[in-house]
Chain A
C-alpha cells in the first residue's frame, strides 16, 4: 500500500518525456501516457487488495477516530523551513493517506482517465499538438491522483493548483480560436478565486494546529469538540476554516456563483470535458468537502447547512438552464453542475456515502455521455442540438451508450444513477426539512427531463440529410464508451449488501459508522414515477413532437428569458471586470505615471533645476555688485561672530 505513490509518479514521469522527446517517438509518445495511466490502474488494484487485507496491525494503518474507516498514512518529509527543531521552524511533508474514500477516487480517476485517453488516441488524431495533448493529460492525471492521495493540506493544495493549470491548458488547447483562450483564462481565474479561500483556510488551520497534516487537524477538531473548545480547535476557527475550504471547493466544483466557468470550458476537446469537467477534476471540490468532513461536521455542523443550501441552489439553477440550452455539450455541462450541486447537497445533508456513491455513478455516466457526445460531434461536426436528430440510425452504438448514460443520470431504475440519487434523497429526507426534499425531487425531475430532451432530440426523430455522411465512430472510440456503458449499467449494484463480507458501499465508504443498504419505498416510488414520467414527456415532446410547448414558451417567456440568459451571471461578472477591476487598475496605472512619477518624482527635479536657474542670477557680472556682496557678507559674518561669542 505504501507503494500507492507510484500511481501518480508514473504519469508525472510520462509528461516531461513526452514534451521533450515526444516528437521523436512513434505516435508522438501518446502510448507512453496511456501506458502510465494503465500502470496506475493496475497498481490501484494492488492497493485496493492490500487495503482489504490490511488491519490496524498493518504498518501505518489505524482506525480513524472521525470517520471510523481504516486509514493508512505514509508520510515523507519534503523540506524544512527553519532549522530543524528550532523554535517556530516548520517542516513540510508530502505523504499519502489511503482510506476507502481515496481508493474510490483512485479507481474512478485511473479508470476514466484510461478510457478517455484510449478514446483520445482516435479522437485527437492528426492534431498538430497531439503529443502535447497527451503530455498535459498525464500531467493532469498525475496531479489529480496526487490530490486524492495527499495526506496533508499543503500537498493537496499543490495538486489542486496543478490540476487547475492542466485544465487551463486543456481548455485552451485550441488557442487559435479566441473562445477557448478566453474560456481557459476564465476557468483558471474563477477557480483561482476559490483557491485563495482554500489557501487561507489551510493557513488558518495550520496556524491553529501547527501542522499541515490532515489527521492532525482532524484530531485537533475532535479534541476541540470533546473539550468544548478548551483545547484543540475552537468552534470559531473550525467554522471559518470549513467555510474557507468550501470556498475552494465551490470554485473547483463550479457551485454558484463560481459555476460560470464550467459551461465555457466546453470549448476544450470533448474527451477533456469528459475526463476533467465531468468525471474527475470538478468533483475535487466534493472530494475536498468529504475529505475534510470532520471539520465541517464538527461542533453543530453549521457549515454543512451552507453547503447544503449552495448545493441545492446550484442544482436547481443549473438544471433549469440545462433544460433550455441547445448546445449538446453545454447541456451536459449544466447537468454536471446540477449533479455536483446534488452531491454537495447530499454532503450537506450528512449523506456522506450517498455523495461519494453519486460521485462515482455520475462520473461514469457523465464520462460516457461526453464521450458519446464527442463521437456525435466527431462525425457530424455539429454541436447544436438543433442540427441533429435521428442519429441512432447512423450511429447505433453511440446512441445506445448515450441513452444508457442519460437514463442513468435521469434516474431510471437499475442504472447506477438511480441508486445513488435515491441515496441522496434519502439522506435529505432524513436530515433536512421538507423544503429541501421537495426541491431535490424537483431537481431530479428536471434532470430526467433535460436528459430525455437531449437524448431524444439528438438520436430520435428523423435524420437530417446534412447528417447523412455521419457514421459510427471507430472501435478506438466505441470500446471505451462500451466499457463505461457497462459500468453505468451495473455499477449501482454495489450498493446492495452481497453475500460474503461486502455489506454494500455503505459499509465501505462512510463517515462515523457503516450502514447497510436500505431503501425507502415511498421515496423510491416517487422518484421512479417522476423520472419515468419525465422521460415519457420528453419522448412525446421531442421525439414524437406530439406535445407542443409554444404556448408555455410564450406564456412564460420572461422566465425563459432569464433562464436562457443563465440568470445574467456572466453579464454581471463581465460588467464588474470591465468597469470595476480594469477601472481601478487603469486608475492605478495612471496614478503611478501621472502622480507618483510625473509629480512626486519629476517635480523635485524640476524644482531643483529652477532653483539653480533663479539662483545664478545673483552673479550679475558687475564687479561692484560682487564687492557689495562681499561687504554685506562681511557685516553678516561679523555680526554672526559677535553673536556666537558674547
Chain B
C-alpha cells in the first residue's frame, strides 16, 4: 500500500479543475452585477490552460494511481481533452442565454466546471465506488443546472423528475455494486473480470449484481427501457443545460461504460460473448423506439431528446461489438462519440441562438429561417444531414465506421437494424430542413409579421455562437472527409483499455 501517495502530480489537472471551479465561485462573489460577463471567459481560459497543461503533462503516460483505482492513460487523456474542449464550447454557446435568461451566472459556470471534473474522473476511474462518486458529482451538478431556471415550472419539473429517477437508478446501481462486492469481495474492474472468468462456482447474485450495474449505467445514457426521463428533462431544462445533457453527460457515461466493459467484461471471454446479445438487444430497442417516437414530435428539444435515444442505440451497438480480438468496435464507439457530440453541439448552438432571437422552440416556428437567417439555417441543416448520416459530414463516416465494426463482430443483423432506423431518422431530420428551407415564415403569435415581432431575427447571431457554429461545421466536414488523424489518436486510446 505504499503507492497510495506516489506520483500524485499526475492528478494535477483534476485538482486544478476543482480549484478553477472554486475560483469562479469566489470571483463571482466580488464581481458587481454588470461585470459577471467576465466569468465565462475566466472559465474558458482556465479550461484551455488545463487542456494544454494535461496534454503536456500526461502525453503517453501509463500509470495506475491509488492501487489501481484511477488510471492515467491515453484513454483517460483522450476523454479529458474531449470533455474539457466540449466544456469550452458549451460555455461559449451558453453565454448569451445565461446572461439574458438566468441569474446567478457565477454558480452556473462553477457548477459546470465541477461536472466536467466529474466527467474527467469517470473517464479514468477503474473501480466501482470511484466511478460512482464521479458519476454522482456529475449528476448532482446536472440536477442543479436542470433546475437553474428557478422561476420556470418546467425547469423545476424536469429537475425533479431527473433527480428522482437519477436517485433511484443510482440506488439500483449501488445495490448491484453491493451484490457484486458481497459475492466476490472486489470492486475493481480487472478483479471483476478475473472473477467472472472463473464464474462457474460463483452464486447467481453476481449476475444480478452485474445486471443492476448495467441498469444504472443504461439509465445514465438513457437507453431503452430506461429512457423515459430523458425527453421530459431535455424539454424542461434550460437550453445550454439540455445541450450539455445531450452531449457531455452521455459521452462521459459512455466513457465509463467503455472502460467497464473493456476492462471488466471483455477479458471474461465467453462470458462476455454471452452478454453481447443483451447489450445488442438494448441497442436495437433504443434505436427503434427513439427514432419511431421522434417521428411524432413537435418540440425541437424533445425531438433532439428522442433522436439522441436513437443514437444511443447506435453507440450501444458498438459497445455490444467490443471484443478482445479487434479494437475496431472501441474505435468506432469513441469516433462516434466525438462526431456525434460535435454535430449535436452545432445543432444545439443553432437552436439556442434561434431561441435567443425568438424564444420559440417548436419545429413549426423554424419556418422561413433560411430566408432571414441563412447561416443559421445552413448550420442547422448541416447538423441534421450529419445526424441523418449523409456524406461529406461527420455523421456518415462515423456511422459507416461503427456499423462496419458491428458487422465484423458477427452482429450484421444489428448493423442492418441500425441502418434501417437511420433511414427512419432521416424523415424527421428532413422535416426540420423542410421547415427552414421550404415552408414560409409563420405569423407572429399575435398575428402580424414575424420579423417585426422578433427584430433579433434580422441581426446575425452573437459572435460566440458564430464561433461555435463555424468551428463546429468545419469540424463536421473535416471528420466527414479526413478522419485519419483523429482515428489514429483514438486507436492509441482504445489500446490503453483493451487487453
Contact = CB atoms under 8 A, between A and B. Distances in A.
Q: Do A and B touch (CB < 8 Å)?
A: yes
Interface of A: 605, 608-609, 611-613, 615-616, 618-619, 621, 623, 625-627, 629-630, 632-634, 636-638, 640-642, 644-646
B169 A630 contact: yes
A641 B208 contact: yes
Contacts of A634: 172, 211-212, 215
Contacts of B207: 638, 641-642, 645-646
Contacts of B210: 641
B55 interface: no
B232 interface: yes
Contacts of B218: 637
Contacts of A646: 204, 207
B165 interface: yes
Given A637-B215, A645-B199, A645-B207, 19 more contacts: A608-B292, A608-B295, A609-B295, A611-B292, A612-B295, A613-B296, A616-B293, A616-B297, A618-B228, A626-B165, A626-B228, A627-B168, A630-B168, A630-B169, A636-B225, A637-B214, A642-B208, A644-B278, A645-B271
Nearest to B214: A637
A630 B274 contact: no
B480 to A, nearest CB: 27
A619 B172 contact: no
A630 B215 contact: yes
Contacts of B219: 630
B274 A616 contact: no
Interface residues on B, range: 35 or more
A641 B278 contact: yes
B357 interface: no
Contact of B231 (A619, A627, A642, A644): A619
Interface in B273-294: 274-275, 277-278, 281-282, 289, 292-294
Contact of A638 (B199, B211, B277, B297): B211
Nearest to A624: B164
Contacts of B294: 612
Nearest to B223: A633
B228 A612 contact: no
A257 B124 CA distance: 90
Given A623-B164, A641-B208, A630 B295 contact: no
A131 B45 CA distance: 83
Nearest to B219: A630
**Which of B172, B289, B292 has the most C-beta atoms of chain A within 10 angstroms of its own C-beta?**
B292
Contacts of A640: 211, 278, 281
Contacts of B226: 629-630, 633
B31 to A, nearest CB: 38
Contacts of B495: none
Contacts of B292: 608, 611-612, 615
Contacts of B172: 630, 634
Contacts of A633: 215, 225-226
Nearest to B231: A619
B160 interface: yes
Contacts of A611: 292, 295
A627 B275 contact: no
A81 to B, nearest CB: 37
A488 B218 CA distance: 102
A636 B296 CA distance: 27
Given A630-B215, A634-B211, A634-B212, A641 B165 contact: no
A625 B229 CA distance: 10
B278 A619 contact: no
B372 interface: no
B58 interface: no
A625 B215 CA distance: 17
B296 A627 contact: no
A619 B161 CA distance: 13
B423 to A, nearest CB: 10
Interface in B166-203: 168-169, 172, 199
**Shortest 10 CB-CB contacts between residues of A and residues of B:** A612-B295, A633-B225, A612-B296, A626-B228, A638-B211, A641-B211, A613-B296, A616-B293, A644-B274, A612-B292
Nearest to A605: B427
B202 to A, nearest CB: 10
A608 B424 contact: yes
A510 B427 CA distance: 75
A630 B296 contact: no
A626 B222 CA distance: 12
B280 to A, nearest CB: 11
B2 to A, nearest CB: 39
A303 B59 CA distance: 92
A446 B277 CA distance: 91
A276 to B, nearest CB: 55
B44 to A, nearest CB: 36
Nearest to B199: A645
A644 B277 contact: yes
Contacts of B161: 623, 626
**Which of A629, A633, A644 has the most C-beta atoms of chain B within 10 angstroms of its own C-beta?**
A633
Nearest to B297: A616
25 contacts: A608-B292, A608-B295, A608-B424, A613-B295, A615-B292, A616-B296, A616-B297, A618-B228, A623-B160, A623-B164, A623-B165, A626-B228, A629-B228, A630-B169, A630-B172, A630-B219, A630-B226, A630-B228, A633-B225, A634-B215, A640-B211, A641-B210, A642-B208, A642-B211, A645-B207
